Chain A
Amino acid sequence: MKLSVIGISHRTAPVEVRERYALTGDLAGRFLRAAHLENVFEEAMVLDTCNRTELYFVPTGAGDCMDSFLGHVAKLKGLSGDVDKSVFYRHDSQAAVEHLFGVAAALDSQIVGEHQVLGQLKDAYRLAAEQRTARFLLGRLMHRAFRVGKRTRSETELGRGSVSVASAAADLAAQIFSDMGGRTVLMVGAGQTAEAAARSLISAGVRRVVIANRTLSRAEELTRELTGANARAIELDRAGEVIGDTDIVICSTGSSEPVLTYDALGDIISRRGKLLCIVDLAVPRDVDPKLGDLPNVFLHNINDLDRVVARNIERRRQDIPRAKAIVEFEVGEFVKWYDSLQAASTIKLLNRRFELLRQAEIERYGGKFSDSDREQLQRFTESLCKKILHRPIAFLRGLAQDASVSDQLLAVETIRRMYELDEIEAEQNGRGDDLENDE
């Protein structure tokens, strides 16, 4: 199979090395344009994420792909000096397909089962299609990869459950509230963790966010950054005033004393008569543990979230064999498809299709001819079929020499569809199986 991948990832190099070769922003597009002009890659697609930079390609066989790839990257990034090739890997043929499907299934990700990589693969393919460097073969390969990604997410536990503290906070809130869109979140503190938690809640559907912070300007800055929600900023000491109308509280200040105390808020919260989810991400804790004893209050601290995350990671780990089985199956299906599009086997099937047609017609009309005429008829139909098939067969044979891999595959697939050769192949395989069974 003429298909390869060259890349660098979190498995082979630390971030300070990876970032030297990262093709971020418009660099991937520029790489593809430059590579397109060269006679080294028939097709190419760049996948660039925070964990990997990879080039999937169909080689022409005209040059050294690794050198070409690194040369273009060095030129685009302005790199000088020797490149340590040992941090790069290359997989060819079926191994390249296995690698891609593993990436799509997020089995090769730093956080196994993460969701972003599938979207990043789609973006990478879209870019390659726009640059016309992804054609029939890469197109088919990528669509199969998307399928692998979807299957592993829907059929296994791999993509389920949060694996970061921030998203675990959102998951906990979702276990308490069915309609996140109608909820109000109070963020106490405006640090990075609070911001990540707020983003997770917003992506879960929350639309109203109040940020209470000691430095009002930082809270205001965060309100501007939190797109997708109606956010407002208040000073920290006013947090108690809004807690009566709040459903979810996320605390992450750097305070050494509790910010939300039972003495100050116990009565207010008790009188609300509705559920309140408090997630305390701060160390030392921001929330007086006594507030968690109130009947409508569900208080979780960083330890609880860590337990949720650890449990989810373990669950994902346990489901890796199932995901690998999906990858293995889909690789098999892709290889089967690829192999079916070889010119030689297609020529055989085409001959068989015409022979069957010929025999059927002779059977149909043969009775109207005398014995001697029937012999003539046999010869005539044989000759006619050969003549009809001569050009298509010559075309198929010529493809192997002249056309690109995608052109070959596309043409062969078109012919197979046109003459329904899959049917013939299935019949032949069935007969083969029957013979094996008989034996």
Chain B
Amino acid sequence: MDTLLSILNWLLPLVYLALAIDYGATFILRNRTHDRNPGVILAIVFHGAFLVLWGVRFGGLPLVSNYEILSVVAVSSAAVYWAIELVTRDRRAGVFVFLLIFLLQYTSSASLSVMIAHAGDSGHMQAGLGRLHVLPAVLAYTALAFGAVYATLYLVGQRNMKHHNFGLLFDRLPPLDLLGRMSFQSMQVGFAFMTITIITGGVLFHRFGSGGGAMPIDPKLLAKIVIGSAAWIIFAMDVFGKYILKWSVSRVSAITLAGFLIIAVLFVTSLALS
């Protein structure tokens, strides 16, 4: 089964790369921009099967290591994108989303050995409260990744429009209001899940973290707390600015992107300290 898992693990980034290429062709050639892509649902099913096999092999949810979480973020991003495409019937942002998903899955797949080393190490993350911390974190990462992709596209599109640059991107990008709306809504969803993640993380820390003594705090955990709190404050400002201060779409998008970059730093730091 390990061989099968290994093969599937390396096929996954290729599947997402193929989807990114397919969406790239749609973006450039401007054909089928409003059709649904059956490849997305096939990729999700394929990825889902991989995760189920993984769970069967290692006896638990694939939510222990950061690399497993990356893979789950990748498949949930694909699922969210599939839902978005279903509603908006617009495929033009697909290439950017699937490039990100490819990068996430490639990073995850490239660390297979690390995953195997961590898989089955159920520990407290497989416990009920642990799931309540990790699952919303996965959803938060997914939604914030979406927010960042759409925010980037909005900022690029806005810059083109402002500078009257009527080139390829002007033609191919989805309308700006759609990009701005998708960016903000994704960020809000991510922010909500991030809040839940922080609360459940606090409870976990209280129960298991310090062990009740004066033990020095784990540097990985400290980095997570500091960077996560900074990102949370930025997203909170973003929501407040949008609703109360009537900030412009470009400012909201730029802050969404900045918040995501901090989250990315958090993730990379967490990987580095693993």
Contacts and interface: CB of A to CB of B under 8 A. Distances in A.
Nearest to A308: B166
Given A295-B251, A298-B161, A175 B176 contact: yes
Contacts of A176: 161, 175-177
A390 B218 CA distance: 102
Interface string A302-344: 0010011001000000000000000000000000000000000
Interface string B246-272: 111111000000000000000000000
A296 B250 contact: yes
A18 B244 CA distance: 63
Interface string A270-313: 01111100000000000000001011101010001001100100
B166 A273 contact: no
A242 B127 CA distance: 58
Nearest to B167: A311
B120 interface: no
Interface string A160-176: 00000000000000111
Nearest to A175: B175
Nearest to A271: B246
A300 B164 contact: yes
Interface in A135-191: 174-178
Interface residues of A, number: 20
A311 B166 contact: yes
B159 to A, nearest CB: 11
Contacts of A272: 246
Given A275-B177, A294-B248, A296-B250, 9 more contacts: A178-B88, A273-B249, A275-B176, A275-B180, A295-B249, A295-B251, A304-B164, A307-B166, A308-B166
B174 interface: yes
16 contacts: A175-B175, A176-B161, A178-B90, A178-B174, A273-B246, A273-B249, A275-B177, A292-B162, A295-B248, A298-B176, A300-B164, A304-B164, A307-B164, A307-B166, A308-B166, A311-B166
Nearest to A296: B248
Nearest to A307: B166
A307 B242 CA distance: 34
A298 B250 CA distance: 12
B178 interface: yes
B248 A273 contact: yes
B27 to A, nearest CB: 15
Contacts of A307: 164, 166
Contacts of A177: 175-177
Closest 7 CB pairs of A and B: A273-B246, A295-B248, A178-B175, A178-B178, A304-B164, A296-B248, A176-B176
A111 to B, nearest CB: 19
A419 to B, nearest CB: 41
Contacts of B161: 175-176, 298
Given A271-B246, A295-B250, A178 B177 contact: yes
A294 to B, nearest CB: 8
A267 to B, nearest CB: 12
A308 B250 CA distance: 24
B248 A175 contact: no
A178 B248 CA distance: 18
Contacts of A174: 175
B166 A275 contact: no
Interface in B155-198: 157, 161-162, 164, 166, 170, 173-178, 180
B113 to A, nearest CB: 45
B175 A298 contact: no
Given A175-B161, A298-B161, A304-B164, A273 B247 contact: yes
Contacts of A308: 166
Among A272, A274, A296, A311, the one with the most B-chain Cβ atoms within 10 Å of its Cβ is A296
A271 to B, nearest CB: 6
A298 B166 CA distance: 13
Given A298-B161, A307-B164, A273 B242 contact: yes
Nearest to A299: B162
Interface string B230-254: 0000000000001000111111000
A176 B170 CA distance: 10
Nearest to A273: B246
Nearest to A180: B175
A174 B248 CA distance: 20
A195 B166 CA distance: 25
A177 B246 CA distance: 19
Contacts of A292: 162
A281 B88 CA distance: 32
A116 to B, nearest CB: 23
A176 B246 CA distance: 19
Contact of A175 (B170, B247, B250): B170
Contacts of B90: 178
A174 B249 CA distance: 17
A177 B175 CA distance: 5
B245 to A, nearest CB: 8
B253 to A, nearest CB: 10
Contacts of B170: 175
Among B157, B162, B247, the one with the most A-chain Cβ atoms within 10 Å of its Cβ is B162
